[in-house]
Amino acid sequence: MSGNTFGKSFTLTTYGESHGPALGGVIDGCPAGVPIDIETIQKDLDRRKPGQSAIVTQRKEPDTVQIYSGVFDGKSTGTPIGFVIHNTNQKSKDYTHIKDSYRPSHADYVYDQKYGFRDYRGGGRSSARETAARVVAGSIAKQIIAPVQIQAFVSAVGELTLPHPETISDFSFIEENPVRCPDVEMAEKMEAYIKQVRKDGDTVGGVITCVAKNVPVGLGEPVFDKLHAVLGQAMLSINAVKGFEYGSGFAGAALRGSAHNDLYNEDGTTKTNNSGGVQGGISNGMDIYFNVAFKPVATIMQSQETIDNKGETVTMEGKGRHDPCVVPRAVPIVEAMTALVLADFTLRNKNAKL
């Protein structure tokens, strides 16, 4: 299996499965001398870990990271940073009922067809548990690119949507509610809705909005590695993501150029930000903002018709511990992947000019 490495100058290679003994990663390209705060990394992991509230999967994992190399006396050494997160609460028996069958809209069928073999325990390598390694690397990337600030939040759950999330500037309430929505009233509605969806044995999707502030001008490598293109790749590599739009996105297609153009101020900033902080594939110094759409989790606690590995029709019902809505736990993942992209381009940008 290839495709387990992300980045070009600052790279992350991840390993591990949902129900294996551990998962982790190797970071290469981190400059020497970067202060690495392990407590900050752990805090980011705690925001992603399962079992943190009543509206997420109840699998209990401490998700404690152990760094094995590349850090000494609190700073990066310039060598590969290897780390591990041990799995402690696997319940593989919850998945024996799908050993020979394929869950609708899951990766089961395509993994079996592509590799001729699959780890059915929690989805194996296709499980979103792999993203814990991304959060570790993303937290280190954030420490490289400071003072850039990255903040993601839930802007929609099902049809419950915040109007104009790109204009939100008060992020203080995000970590004060289990949905990670910055609006108090909407957060309560979203939480109640997710609980009802879980009670119905169903799942629901949502949208995460991400804003990156203090991004310098010049990040991005046209033509194939435009900043927004690599951000799109990063977001679409996250489990359950179905869409990515930056700046004005699809709504911008309905506008005329006279309404959509971002006019300049004398200092090079722009009066509006329909570009979403990216022009010509390069950051322009304005806030970068984008939306990431997540589908409903594929595993539902309802009977569904599917097929087995013999092509015969069978009926199955989801079992085990699953998120009724993935977006609350995906917020730190979106932030992490954003940080990986910006850190990679920051290091690549050193070759832009003498």
Q: What is the three-state SS of 219-286?
A: CCECCCECHHHHHHHHHHCCCCEEEEEECCHHHHHHCCHHHHCCCECCCCCECCCCCCCEECCEECCC
Alpha-carbon span 62 to 332, nearest angstrom: 16
What's the whole-number average pLDDT of the chain? 93
pLDDT at 5 over 60: yes
Q: Is 163 exposed, middle or buried (0-12, 13-18, 19+ CB in 10 A)?
A: exposed
Residue 51 banded pLDDT, cuts 50, 70, 90: confident
- Whether 106 and 123 have beta carbons less than 8 Å apart is answered as yes
The residue-averaged pLDDT of 209-215 equals 98
More confident site: 95 or 11: 11
CATH number, position 123: 3.60.150.10
Which pairing describes strands 22-28 and 81-86: parallel, antiparallel, or unpaired? antiparallel
Alpha-carbon span 101 to 95, nearest angstrom: 10
pLDDT at 126 over 90: no
Domain extent for 74: 5-351
CA angle (179, 182, 186) in 5-degree steps:
65
Q: What pLDDT does 117 receive? A: 79
Q: What pLDDT does 320 receive? A: 65
For the record, the structure tokens of 304 come out as 């569904």
The residue-averaged pLDDT of 244-273 equals 97
* pLDDT (tens digit per residue) in 13-33: 999 988 888 999 999 999 999
Q: What pLDDT does 61 receive? A: 79
Alpha-carbon span 202 to 302, nearest angstrom: 7
Percentage of the chain beyond pLDDT 90 is: 75
Residue 122 banded pLDDT, cuts 50, 70, 90: low
Report pTM.
0.94
Q: What pLDDT does 31 receive? A: 97
Alpha-carbon span 345 to 9, nearest angstrom: 8
For the record, the structure tokens of 343 come out as 């850190």
The residue-averaged pLDDT of 260-269 equals 97
pLDDT at 295 over 70: yes
pLDDT at 300 over 70: yes
For the record, the structure tokens of 17 come out as 């499965």
7, 78, 70, 2: which is closest to 348 by C-alpha? 7
- State phi, psi for 279 to the nearest 5 degrees: -135, 130
- Whether 294 and 326 have beta carbons less than 8 Å apart is answered as yes
Residue with the two structure tokens 């959060």: 135
Helix axes 38-48, 327-348, angle to 10 degrees: 140
Q: How many domains does the chain have?
A: 1
The residue-averaged pLDDT of 198-204 equals 95
* pLDDT (tens digit per residue) in 138-172: 999 999 999 999 999 999 999 999 999 988 999 99
Give the alpha-carbon dihedral of 195, 58, 134, 240, to 10 degrees.
-40
